[in-house]
Amino acid sequence: MLWRRTAKTVSLDGDIRVVCETHGPECQVWLSGRITIDSSPSLRALLLQRVESEDCQNLTVDFREVPYVDTSGLAVMVEILKAARTRGKTFQLSGLSERPRFLLEATRLLHLFHEVSEMPRVNHPSSENLQ
């Protein structure tokens, strides 16, 4: 079976950039930048769109290039997790760095999320090219 593979780079605002790839039922999102009260609404909309898509059965979000997440970003992740579970889909996190991981641990929410090892960076441009 041949799966459609698509990739799209989006700059949500000055704080965060996103690369989205679809490999059949697998949707992968790489984030780059800070997730704050200013950037979280557009990130929320993008991730909800991905998880609500018929094609996307497994959504994985990579945080490797995210140095900072505030509580509004945490609320977005919880909302996306709930939306995915409601639809019988999986939502996974990858590449959690020190500060985002600490926030999830401090709020005792990390255990709710399935964490995967690093996602392959096939066709993923470096963050310098996402502007």
pLDDT tens profile 19-49:
999 888 999 999 999 999 999 999 999 999 9
- Predicted structure pTM score: 0.81
For CA atoms 26, 27, 30, 34, the dihedral sign is: negative
pLDDT tens profile 68-85:
999 999 999 999 999 999
